Chain A
Amino acid sequence: MSLLVVEDLHTHFVSRDLDNRVRTAKALNSVSFALAEGEVLGLVGETGAGKSLTAFSIMGLLRPPARIVQGSVRFAGQELVGLAPEQLNAVRGARIAMVGQNPRGALDPLTRVGEQIVRVILAHQAVSREAARAAALEAMARVGIPDPARRFRSWPHELSGGMAQRVLIAMALVNRPTLLIADEPTTGLDVTVQAQILDLLRTLVREMNMAALVITHDLGVVAHYCSRMAVMFAGRIIEMGPVEAVFGTPRHPYTQALIAATPENLTLDGASPLGGRPPDLFALPPGCHYVDRCPIATEACNALPPWRSVAADHGALCHRVES
């Protein structure tokens, strides 16, 4: 059974311009995917493709003027779209946890880090302060923080980026969630620390048998840590399938370009189809959003492309792909 089912999710930024016209930036357009228990799905795409926005939409963290205008997010059978914050809080941080970018900014600067973990435990579990404290120390040890008793009393500004991310991971895991959303968890960290954090996440996900949604723009991360991947472009998932299948035989021209652009495949000849500007979200083309940059586009591509399955679990959103 699927743990998380996102179906036809549309998230738009709706505002009015100075001449009182409604302006809509269509940031997510009909995003659909499912995640089974214990599965690790990678979500890749360039900046502005809507990866983080997908996470925020699932977690109910959108701020005006962004809002979900259509679609559904079901977690363990429960609809999350439209839930009141109090009901959502029973899920967020408890059954779905999130680790974000910029770990140092994600910690409350005026609360000692241990207290912040305790706070998250007490928000979701009916335990005593002492028990919560013990659980926090245990979690800190588990994520590899040396000398947890001392670090418990640290202020966030005293931590390095990597250490802060470990604290946030501890905070995400203390309530034993069944789904972890990792939104570019290594942005801004030193390269050596990046690998440590990713390995730590993988170990914990396996040990605790969590499902994970890993958001990244780094194909290497997907290749190493995920079993399935979805490629996003201009607010749509344009290809999805098992990691080996997508890397082995990418179907969508954008995916092909993305994989061709990884350092080991870089060539010096010709213009890269990746180099172009992302499409204007205020005025998306009516058909395939990639049509302007696509090397193999035809007349047909000015109509909305269908989802073409090439295998039971692999497909792409493209006219030029044969089923």
Chain B
Amino acid sequence: MTLGRFLVRRLLLVVPLLVFIAFLNFMLVRISGQDPTALIAGPTATGGELAMVRAELGLDRPLHEQFLVYIGNILTWNLGQSWVNKRSVLNDIWLRLPITLELLFWGVGLGALIGIPVGLRAARHHDGRFDQLARFLSLLGFSTPTYWLGLVMILVFFYFLNWAPPAMGRISLLMTAPPVVTGSYLLDGLIAQKWDVVQSAFAQLVLPVTAMAIVAAAPIIKQARAIALDVQGSEFVRSAQAAGLSGAVIRRMVAKNSATPVITFVGTELTALIGTASVIEYIFSWGGLGQWGLQAIIQADFMVVQGYVLTLALFSVLVFLVIDVAVFLLEPRAEMHA
């Protein structure tokens, strides 16, 4: 099977998924039972004005028509405006998405960089001291609430030790942001060659990225270990031992055969981790998509919540797609699985 045919088949599967996502999102506002009419029309609106706004929003039509309208809106890039501050939801998403992705990228990258080798090593020393410690730390990571971890880091590294800057956003309040190219202050600072900006952006990144990495590493350790144990138990490892291949060669063999399932796992885990990133953003006043969305949930601003949840779901769909293509390209046996 060629990559083209694979992609077509894979994309066809995505269509019903997207409809489902849109439906769930649509229902989110319905079950809230909130009528945004009054919020949008303002406190002084007359009955006629209310009816006009209602018609404008399509709220006077039957439910299935409203759903079709919602789908039509999505397809025409119309995600509505915030009930609270009237800002365009789509604009805010474009503005804030890169900010979240930067945190996610460094956090998950660091988490995987720690988690995968630890998991593989734990599997190698199955039931040994290192394995037990790794398993315990992984369970501890699973059990630690993200927001509490963030708060404790602020307490220790800002309040007690004074090593970290205050957790107020992505750059020191005293600094002007560099011109936007990528949306990441770190990269934009490098491009503009403003070293003080780079330094400040880096300092602001350290705590949230570390928190993100800790939370990301826990499931990665657990899964990488389980996958590697599985590979180690397979017959070809025993036959490699029988052939007298050295420990190093066998280690490489196990790592290579664990790679595809581990990458796939990290990809699927990104769904949960972008949720985690939101919580970390909230704690560190990061100002990205997550903080924006969580605030909207707290304020019951459901037009924003809709856009937020939709973005997260689409992000996952895209990640799953990328992972599938990557596996198809990397794995010699992919044709058999497809």
Contact = CB atoms under 8 A, between A and B. Distances in A.
A120 B243 contact: yes
B235 interface: yes
A93 B243 contact: yes
Contacts of B236: 105-109
A94 B244 contact: yes
Contacts of A155: 332-333
Interface string A78-106: 00000001101111111001101010011
A119 to B, nearest CB: 7
A171 B239 CA distance: 10
B246 interface: yes
B33 interface: no
B7 to A, nearest CB: 22
B243 A92 contact: yes
Nearest to A107: B236
B257 A110 contact: yes
A111 B235 contact: no
A168 B236 CA distance: 11
Interface string B314-338: 0000000000000000001100100
Nearest to B234: A105
Q: Which of A100, A102, A106, A111 has the most C-beta atoms of chain B within 10 angstroms of its own C-beta?
A: A106
A53 to B, nearest CB: 13
B316 to A, nearest CB: 28
B4 interface: no
B240 A108 contact: yes
B18 to A, nearest CB: 34
Contact of B249 (A86, A92, A119, A171): A119
Nearest to A120: B243
B247 A85 contact: yes
Given A111-B253, A155-B333, A123 B235 contact: no
- Give chain B's interface residue range (CB within 8 Å of chain A): 20 to 34
Contacts of B332: 109-110, 155, 157
B255 to A, nearest CB: 10
Nearest to A112: B332
Contacts of A124: 244
B75 interface: no
A61 interface: yes
B244 A92 contact: yes
B249 A157 contact: no
Nearest to B260: A110
Contacts of B34: none
A59 interface: yes
Contact of B239 (A88, A91, A100, A157): A100
Given A108-B257, A157-B336, A100 B243 contact: no
B182 interface: no
A98 B244 CA distance: 10
A88 B242 CA distance: 10
Contacts of B249: 119, 123
B254 to A, nearest CB: 10
Contacts of B235: 100, 102, 105-106
A93 B242 contact: yes
Given A108-B253, A110-B256, A119 B245 contact: yes
Contacts of B238: 61, 100, 106
B216 to A, nearest CB: 26
Contacts of B245: 89, 93, 119-120, 123
Contacts of A59: 241-242
Nearest to B256: A110
A97 B243 contact: yes
Contacts of A102: 235
A123 B244 contact: yes
Contacts of A91: 244
Given A106-B236, A109-B257, A123 B243 contact: yes
Contacts of A85: 247
Interface in A154-189: 155, 157, 168, 171-172
A100 B242 contact: yes
Contacts of B253: 108, 111
Contacts of A168: 239
Contacts of A61: 238, 241-242
Contacts of A97: 242-243
B30 to A, nearest CB: 49
A90 B333 contact: no
Contacts of B336: 157
Contacts of A98: 239, 242-243
A240 B238 CA distance: 29
A100 to B, nearest CB: 6
Contacts of A111: 253, 256
Interface in A240-283: none
B75 to A, nearest CB: 42
Nearest to B336: A157
Nearest to B127: A64
Contacts of A105: 234-236
A97 B239 CA distance: 10
Contacts of B246: 86, 89, 123
27 contacts: A59-B242, A61-B238, A85-B247, A89-B245, A90-B244, A92-B241, A92-B244, A93-B242, A93-B243, A93-B244, A97-B243, A98-B239, A98-B243, A100-B238, A100-B242, A102-B235, A107-B236, A108-B236, A108-B257, A109-B333, A110-B256, A110-B332, A111-B253, A120-B245, A123-B244, A124-B244, A157-B336
Interface of B: 234-236, 238-247, 249, 253, 256-257, 332-333, 336
Q: Across chains A and B, which 6 residue pairs bring their CB atoms closest together, nearest first?
A: A93-B244, A93-B243, A92-B244, A106-B239, A105-B235, A89-B244
Given A59-B242, A89-B246, 5 more contacts: A98-B239, A107-B236, A107-B239, A119-B245, A171-B243
